Structure 1
Amino acid sequence: MMMNIQMMKRYRVLALSSTVDGYNDEYSPSSLLSMSMAGVDMNMRSAVAAVEGILRYRFRDKTLLQAALTHSSYTDSASYQRLEFVGDAALGLALAEYIFRTYPGLDPGQLSLLRAANISTENLARVAVRHELYLHVRHNAPSLDAKISEFVLAVQEEIGAVTYCGSVKAPKILADIVESVAAAVYVDCNYDLKALWKVFKLLMEPIATLETLHNQPQPVTTLFEFCQKLGKQVDIKHWRKGSKNIASVYVDGNLIGSCSSEQKEIAKLNAAKEALQKLWPSEFSEMKIEVRSGSVEIQGAKNKLNELCAKKKWCQAKYKLERAVGPPHDRKFISLVQIVTVAGTYFTAGDIRSRLKDAENSAASNMLHGLRDI
């Protein structure tokens, strides 16, 4: 049974140009469906053609893609379970090679963070939503439709990239789809990792970078690391009230943040976020970096500060909007930047700027100038 999500289902069959192993012939939606579909079920031929269009890759063996789009609850045909196993490893290795080449100066820990963020269930599920891969999966589990629809609507309301959990936990089937389709490409192009990445790099964009992770750090991990640097004890307690999961964050025995959600993990993440918001401003009030007047702003200061932190093996710089001033049509911003070093935690503010990105660069520049005097 094909998925039936009201008001959401629509096939997209794009004119495409395969970029793998010499294929370079474009063809139209009408000719897509007339091409050989030997072995592909009649009720899957439109789905297979549509996903080929999304991928801009033409399969030699289209039954691989049919299997990649078949959930285990659909028992009349091979499911994606074996492909998912291969796709998890292949996509992870392709991504690992990409970030290894792109960031030659990163240590293994940072490389692992980047890899994990990009191939997490949350991120891969959003890939499936952005490219509407989920519309072409067949299954016999009606409960999946409601979960997928809820997540799709939540993603559509998100502003900007979300590296970690949003307001709704991602259904695992969505990440499974991406991994199984990756495996189908990988096997079909004779296990060529470079060919797989050539197809999937566009699908995975925007790829999370170090800056992405700095701007959206994993709240629970950040909370524990932050408090560990300050010699504080963190405890997160879970309990239920009716249908709600409640997570409460205690620091040195004091309740700092508490949030509820129908999903335990979401409650934990939101409670950690709340605790960080309350702790952060108060914890670096005694360690302000003073900047000499007349200092010239350093171009590319954010990148330079990140490089310095990596070289010194400090936690990466974190930015916070200190103040927004002016009317909506002429808003200006002041940003704070914080770094945690072996010697302590330091912060400083930047100068007022018309763009938040520029305000953060100004703060980073002031931090670099100030660190020279420490």
Structure 2
Amino acid sequence: MDRLLSPSVPVVPPSPDMVDSVRSVESILNHRFTDKRLLEQALTHSSCMDSPSYERLEFVGDISLGLAFTNYLYLAYPNLDQGQLSELRSVNVSTEKLARVAVKHGLYRFLRRVNVPSMDEKVKEFSDSIAEEDETCPVSYGGSVKAPKVLADLVESVAAAVYIDVNFDLQRLWVIFRGLLEPTATLEDLQRHPHPVTKLFNLCQKHGKRVEIKYLENDTGSIAGVYLDGECIASEFAEQNEISKLNAAKAALSRLSEFLTVDTEIIDDGLEIECAKKKLHERCIKKKWAKPIYSVEREEGRSHEKKFVCSVKIPTQEGVLYIEGDERCRIRDAENSAASFMIQSLKLRNDLL
């Protein structure tokens, strides 16, 4: 019999000062711990010198969560090769992904810690940067602020506490923990949302352009510059190389339509339609227009086969601009389709004027 259901297994209570935190995280997980001290330890930072910290649990959680997700991928995607499985696992249990999971569920506020204002500041900066992002995406390669490792460590430690509490049962760990990781990135998501650097190089190769990314470093950080046929088209500064590189690639993708003469083709193919909402929003800011307003005009099909048609309207000084997009399986994609049509309509409008 499962020891969680057996009356013969006594419940180990947490320390008095951690009762509320343990109860709150149990509620988030929808799992009641038999040994609540495990969860207490998972929620204790190494700055608390008088209590065992999460460091040992984090070590176990890193491996067990990765293995539980690997088992899920192997069973859920029997036709994928090793490279595809590896890529899916990487984006779904990366430091960036797990840090965002911690922010989404507010786990950091339950972390017992002592006098670590710099860590608190970094977590707040990261959380604020996520809150300012335009829209969520199932694949996140990084934002404007590097994910603090403490957030990912916290998620892994909690996963380890669950894993040990269920007698090292990987299947039960996954059943309990998978809800926290949603939305999990699928192979389709990776194809629709490739890494910005990969997308940049593929797009330039398609159009016969030579692209390079160069760095200029100093004591405060790194400037990454994207060079197209030897000419700098975008540069971004950040404290870490990977963030400056990522942001420079995003900026270059946004600006490529200014350097290549196939604007419409780039939107529909190279940059893909998922960039359209962002590009339309940027255009509205430049023209000092109101923010685009998206609406679902129609939805058809059964619950598991629904398709949506969305519209976008923009209030301007000259009147309201309105257009509908193509039918799509997800509302986000339908909104981007409408935005793409609006961008093309605005270009045509400018040409006629």
**Normalised TM-score (structure 1):** 0.67
Rounded Cα–Cα distance in structure 1 between residues aligned with 2:3 and 2:322 = 51
* C-alpha contact 2:95 2:149 (8 A) present in aligned 1: yes
Partner of 2:323: 332
- Given the superposition, is the C-alpha separation of residues 213 and 160 from structure 1 closer, same or farther in structure 2, using an over 3 Å criterion? farther
Secondary structure of the residue that 2:142 maps to in structure 1?
coil
- Given the superposition, is the C-alpha separation of residues 145 and 75 from structure 1 closer, same or farther in structure 2, using an over 3 Å criterion? same
Q: Offset of 1:96 from its aligned partner?
A: 2.0
- Select which of 111, 117, 130 maps to 1:155: 130
Q: Offset of 1:66 from its aligned partner?
A: 1.3
- Given the superposition, is the C-alpha separation of residues 361 and 77 from structure 1 closer, same or farther in structure 2, using an over 3 Å criterion? same
Secondary structure of the residue that 2:136 maps to in structure 1?
coil
Q: Offset of 1:222 from its aligned partner?
A: 2.6
Whether 2:215 is the aligned partner of 1:238: answer: yes
Rounded Cα–Cα distance in structure 2 between residues aligned with 1:207 and 1:278 = 30
Whether 2:125 is the aligned partner of 1:168: answer: no
- Select which of 11, 28, 44 maps to 1:70: 44
* Offset from partner CA, 1:307-329 (integer Å, 9 cap, x none): xxxxxxxx999435398975468
* C-alpha contact 1:59 1:185 (8 A) present in aligned 2: yes
Partner of 2:160: 183
Partner of 1:208: 185
Secondary structure of the residue that 1:258 maps to in structure 2?
strand
Q: Offset of 1:93 from its aligned partner?
A: 1.6
Whether 2:171 is the aligned partner of 1:194: answer: yes
Q: Offset of 1:83 from its aligned partner?
A: 1.1
Whether 2:10 is the aligned partner of 1:47: answer: no
* C-alpha contact 1:333 1:356 (8 A) present in aligned 2: no
Secondary structure of the residue that 1:88 maps to in structure 2?
helix
Secondary structure of the residue that 1:250 maps to in structure 2?
strand
- Given the superposition, is the C-alpha separation of residues 330 and 287 from structure 1 closer, same or farther in structure 2, using an over 3 Å criterion? closer
Secondary structure of the residue that 1:238 maps to in structure 2?
strand
- Given the superposition, is the C-alpha separation of residues 316 and 72 from structure 1 closer, same or farther in structure 2, using an over 3 Å criterion? farther
Map 1:286-325; keep pairs closer than 5 Å: 318-319=272-273, 320-321=275-276
Whether 2:75 is the aligned partner of 1:104: answer: no
Whether 2:110 is the aligned partner of 1:136: answer: yes
- Select which of 13, 28, 33 maps to 1:59: 33
Rounded Cα–Cα distance in structure 1 between residues aligned with 2:258 and 2:190 = 20
Map 1:216-295; keep pairs closer than 5 Å: 216-228=193-205, 232-240=209-217, 243=220, 245-279=222-256, 285=262
* Offset from partner CA, 1:265-313 (integer Å, 9 cap, x none): 322211111222333686694997xxxxxxxxxxxxxxxxxxxxxxxxx
Q: Offset of 1:154 from its aligned partner?
A: 2.0
Partner of 2:307: none
Can you give the 5+ residue segments of structure 2 that lack an aligned partner in the other structure? Answer: 281-291, 293-311, 339-353
**Normalised TM-score (structure 2):** 0.70
User: Percentage identity across aligned positions?
Assistant: 48
Secondary structure of the residue that 1:246 maps to in structure 2?
strand
Partner of 1:345: none
- Given the superposition, is the C-alpha separation of residues 116 and 200 from structure 1 closer, same or farther in structure 2, using an over 3 Å criterion? same
- Given the superposition, is the C-alpha separation of residues 281 and 92 from structure 1 closer, same or farther in structure 2, using an over 3 Å criterion? farther
Rounded Cα–Cα distance in structure 2 between residues aligned with 1:249 and 1:51 = 44
Q: Offset of 1:253 from its aligned partner?
A: 2.0
Q: In proportion to residue count, which structure has more helix?
A: 2
Q: Offset of 1:90 from its aligned partner?
A: 1.2
Rounded Cα–Cα distance in structure 1 between residues aligned with 2:12 and 2:122 = 31
Map 1:20-39; keep pairs closer than 5 Å: 23=5, 36-38=11-13
- Given the superposition, is the C-alpha separation of residues 244 and 218 from structure 1 closer, same or farther in structure 2, using an over 3 Å criterion? same
Q: Offset of 1:197 from its aligned partner?
A: 0.7
Q: Offset of 1:240 from its aligned partner?
A: 4.6
Q: Offset of 1:45 from its aligned partner?
A: 2.0
* C-alpha contact 1:249 1:255 (8 A) present in aligned 2: yes
- Given the superposition, is the C-alpha separation of residues 76 and 326 from structure 1 closer, same or farther in structure 2, using an over 3 Å criterion? closer
Partner of 2:333: 357
Rounded Cα–Cα distance in structure 2 between residues aligned with 1:62 and 1:316 = 51
Amino acid at match of 2:333: K
* C-alpha contact 2:4 2:166 (8 A) present in aligned 1: no
Q: Offset of 1:211 from its aligned partner?
A: 3.5
